[in-house]
């Protein structure tokens, strides 16, 4: 496949552009935790910042979706995902510049894994507002600390531009889980942090990465329940 021309639905794409080896050659270690919070009966999924399609692949393998929409601002990722066929449809869209073109409550699940830290703070807040508008459930992950990150895969959208905390998501009604390595005084220490990562699932403040889940139904029940 690497040595031949690849044709997408939109025409010819160079093999280097679509089938190159990415700079990041490992998966995020929290993907099993992500699957634990995804309902079994999910039928429609919106994946913001779909990248090379790991969420689309997981949902296809472990759930029975009728519709998965992938969105990414980096066109080569869209081209790659189009060839692998994990998504029902794909949109090359910069969420900093436009609202999501979907109706209220259109999706069962909306995801944005390792996305929000790549947006300026105000744009990240607007993205959360939009995800909560178009979906019944939202799952977001982000580093629990700020660190500089250069661009991967020649992708100009990969730089870190904001920091998000457990408190930021709890205030919006999210359940927050530790999904990364154990932090020692704000730092991860290689394999030791990785070995202790499961300890942080109920203690997200001690985790290098947090996974945050929002349910519109839970929020409604919280608002309407008697005090």
| pLDDT (tens digit per residue) in 2-11 | 333 333 344 4
CA–CA gap between residue 209 and residue 166 (Å, rounded): 10
Q: What is the pTM of this model?
A: 0.86
Residue 85 included in any domain: yes
Q: Which residues of the chain, if any, have pLDDT below 70?
A: 1-19, 25-26, 218-227
Q: What is the pLDDT of residue 18?
A: 55
Considering its fold, how many domains does the chain have in total?
A: 1
Residue 175 included in any domain: yes
- Pick the closest to residue 168 from 116, 91, 133 (CA basis): 116
Residue 119 included in any domain: yes
Angle, vertex CA 213, rays to CA 49 and CA 220, nearest 5: 120
Mean pLDDT, the chain, integer: 88
Beta pairing partners, 141? 113, 211
Residue 1 included in any domain: no
| pLDDT (tens digit per residue) in 79-106 | 999 999 999 999 999 999 999 999 999 9
Q: What is the pLDDT of residue 215?
A: 95
CA 7, distance to chain mean position in Å, is: 27
Residue 203 included in any domain: yes
CA–CA gap between residue 2 and residue 12 (Å, rounded): 14
User: DSSP E strands: which ranges in 73-159?
Assistant: 89-92, 109-113, 137-143
Phi and psi torsions of 102, nearest 5°: -135, 160
Q: In which domain, by residue range, is 12 found?
A: 6-224
Q: Which helix (H) or strand (E) holds 131?
A: helix 121-134
What CATH number is associated with residue 150?
3.40.50.150
Residue 144 included in any domain: yes
């Amino acid at each position: 496949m690497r040595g031949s021309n690849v044709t997408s639905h939109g025409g010819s794409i160079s093999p280097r552009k679509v089938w190159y080896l990415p700079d990041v050659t490992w998966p995020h270690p929290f993907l099993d935790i992500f699957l634990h919070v995804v309902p079994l009966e999910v039928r429609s999924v919106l994946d913001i910042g779909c990248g090379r399609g790991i969420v689309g692949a997981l949902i296809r393998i472990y759930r029975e979706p009728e519709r998965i929409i992938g969105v990414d601002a980096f066109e080569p990722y869209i081209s790659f995902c189009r060839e692998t066929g994990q998504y029902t449809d794909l949109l090359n869209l910069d969420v900093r510049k436009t609202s999501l073109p979907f109706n209220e409550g259109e999706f069962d699940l909306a995801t944005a894994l390792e996305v929000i830290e790549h947006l300026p703070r105000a744009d990240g807040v607007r993205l959360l507002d939009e995800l909560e508008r178009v979906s019944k459930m939202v799952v977001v992950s982000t580093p629990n600390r700020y660190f500089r990150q250069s661009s991967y895969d020649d992708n100009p959208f990969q730089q870190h531009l904001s920091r998000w905390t457990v408190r930021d998501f709890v205030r919006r009604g999210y359940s927050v889980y530790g999904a990364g390595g154990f932090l020692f005084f704000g730092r991860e220490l290689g394999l030791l942090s990785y070995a202790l990562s499961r300890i942080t699932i109920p203690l997200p403040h001690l985790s290098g990465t947090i996974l945050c889940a929002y349910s519109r139904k839970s929020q409604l029940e919280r608002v309407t329940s008697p005090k």
